[in-house]
């Protein structure tokens, strides 16, 4: 398979806010100074192994929110590279504070819509992908805005190495049903649950975030793990 970037990536409209309240002076300083140093290249292929050559494994988190999960996972596994993509500026700034405070050297960030960046990632370059509590877009007419679609399913299949892991978590029943419908029909992904507790109980390596504890959804968190065949 080619390791070059995919040409003619479609343009996407970003729904929702790109920024909230003004950043603090420290946060703005980190956005100005630290983010460019740990950012992704602005053009061309994105090769996770080249970005983090000292790391044995490469992990992507899409929509990392405030970065709590991303930073905690990175601190727990310093020999693993973590790439985070998040369009919301305040979330990026918050993640930068964790990275700076903990001196994490195995994290790279991008403030972007992941749908635009994924086509630039090289084939079979990731060991794991996290998509945790994405915006569910509850209304039927907004379902096309959900991140999980056939196009992103195809992207995950292309990017994950054989045996690579995908975890999606949500606390919205309709989104859980939507994800199950998308992935159960795709034999490139092998469902890992053998009993109900496998998706009802948080996996041992899961890190709970403040957003998750707010319980804004309509069901208890559901954890869906698949492996790339």
Q: Could you give the residue numbers annotated as active site?
A: 135
- Total Cβ atoms within 10 A of residue 172: 20
Asked whether the predicted pLDDT for residue 136 surpasses 80, the reply is no
Give which of 136, 106, 126, 100 is closest to 218, Cα–Cα. 136
Does 171 show up as a binding residue in the annotation? yes
Q: Is 96 helix (H, G, I), strand (E, B) or coil?
A: helix
113 among annotated binding-site residues: yes
**Region 48-228: CATH code:** 3.40.50.150
For residue 20, what pLDDT is reported? 62
C-alpha torsion sign, points 51, 54, 59, 61: negative
Task: List strand residue ranges (DSSP E) for 145-211, in order.
Answer: 160-170, 189-191
pLDDT value of position 146: 87
86 is in an annotated binding site: yes
Q: Residue count of the chain, please give it.
A: 229
Q: Where are the domains of the chain?
A: 48-228
Ranking 9-18, 27-36, 102-111, 169-178 by mean pLDDT, the lowest is 9-18
pLDDT tens digits, 25-65:
999 999 999 999 999 999 999 999 999 999 999 999 999 99
Quote the tokens at residue 148: 């999980």
Question: For residue 19, what pLDDT is reported?
Answer: 56
Triad 53, 57, 63: Cα angle to 5°: 100
- The answer for residues whose C-beta is within 8 angstroms of residue 214's C-beta and 6 or more apart is none
The verdict on whether residue 135 carries a ligand-binding annotation is yes
């Amino acid at each position: 398979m080619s390791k070059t970037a995919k040409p003619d990536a479609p343009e996407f409209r970003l729904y929702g806010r790109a920024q909230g309240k003004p950043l603090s002076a420290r946060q703005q300083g980190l956005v100005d100074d630290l983010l460019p140093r740990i950012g992704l290249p602005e053009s061309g292929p994105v090769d996770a192994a080249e970005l983090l050559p000292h790391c044995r494994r490469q992990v992507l988190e899409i929509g990392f929110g405030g970065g709590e999960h991303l930073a905690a996972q990175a601190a727990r596994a310093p020999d693993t590279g973590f790439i985070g993509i998040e369009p919301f500026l305040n979330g990026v700034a918050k993640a930068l504070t964790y990275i700076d405070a903990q001196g994490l050297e195995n994290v790279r960030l991008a403030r972007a819509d992941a749908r635009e960046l994924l086509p630039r990632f090289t084939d079979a370059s990731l060991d794991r992908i996290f998509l945790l509590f994405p915006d569910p877009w509850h209304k039927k007419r907004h379902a096309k805005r959900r991140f999980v679609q056939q196009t992103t399913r195809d992207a995950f299949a292309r990017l994950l190495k054989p045996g690579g892991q995908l975890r999606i978590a949500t606390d919205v029943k309709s989104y859980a049903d939507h994800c199950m419908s998308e992935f159960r029909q795709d034999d490139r992904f092998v469902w890992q649950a053998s009993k109900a507790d496998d998706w009802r109980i948080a996996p041992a390596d899961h890190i709970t975030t403040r957003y998750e504890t707010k319980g804004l959804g309509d069901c208890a968190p559901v954890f869906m793990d698949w492996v790339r065949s």
